Amino acid sequence: MLARVQSYLLQGIDALPCEVEIDLDNTAMSRRTIVGLPDAAVMESLERVDSAIGNSGYPIARGHLVINLAPADKKKEGPVYDLPIAVGLLATSGVIRPEPDGIDPRRFLFAGELALDGRVRPVKGVIALASLARSEGMHGVVVPHENEAEAAVVEGIDVYGVRTLAEVVGLIAGQIEREPAAGPDVARLLEEAEADIDFADVRGQEAVKRAMVIAAAGGHNIVGL
């Protein structure tokens, strides 16, 4: 049984597509392998995923399991693959079956760290993930609830923030009715901000800040910067 779930990998501040392929032979002797240049956090993901799946009330996959993180020549780092691996395993086990009323997992990017009890913890690079989903023509992203507002900054895609693995299963199966997260009202947030906006609060981005100062000094528009 083979499942494919779409995720991402970070190179600097840029996100690149990463396909999580899961091949399960439940007739073979139990053995588990992750390939595709995973770091230690990725290698440990199966222990977190198994506990999260079991503690969420779903069957744990048994048999010869191979997980491939493609492209194979790019290093994969961090716990972001916990959620896509779990979704793939549940798909191979028949727990996840896309339904007309749910979201199509083939058209979404998934990312999130799993706690042992099935909670979904926040990850880094979610804006880059959402931008990648839009550029790749995907419908949207499924991310930890704490990252929902961050991902919703990117327009043109659906953003679903989830708190647990069970919520992800419910979204795909159409058992949970939920509207995608709304993007932030930046103008209102700026109006309601209690503190003045100060470039001193921005870390790095020296070239951009200098360009804006020069534009302001000359009374120029900065839209094109």
Residues 114 and 52 sit within 8 Å (Cβ to Cβ): yes
Q: Is there a domain that residue 88 lies in?
A: yes
Structure tokens at 212: 């804006």
pLDDT value of residue 133: 97
Residue 143 has a CB neighbour count (10 Å cut-off) of 29
Q: Is there a domain that residue 83 lies in?
A: yes
Q: What is the mean pLDDT of residues 27-37?
A: 90
User: Residue 145 phi/psi, 5° resolution?
Assistant: -55, -40
Domain of 162, CATH number, reads: 3.30.230.10
Distance of CA 16 to CAs 38, 76, 140, Å? 15, 11, 15
Q: Is there a domain that residue 184 lies in?
A: no
Structure tokens at 165: 């693995």
Q: Which of 1-10, 51-60, 93-102, 106-115 is predicted with the least confidence, judged by mean pLDDT?
A: 93-102
Q: Is there a domain that residue 62 lies in?
A: yes
* pTM of structure: 0.82
pLDDT value of residue 99: 82
Q: Is there a domain that residue 28 lies in?
A: yes
Q: What is the mean pLDDT of residues 42-50?
A: 94
pLDDT value of residue 29: 85
Residue 203's pLDDT band, with cuts at 50, 70 and 90, is: low
E strands of 90-211, at which residues?
108-110, 113-114, 120-121, 140-144, 158-162
Query: With 80 as the cut, is the pLDDT of residue 205 above it?
Result: no
Query: With 80 as the cut, is the pLDDT of residue 144 above it?
Result: yes
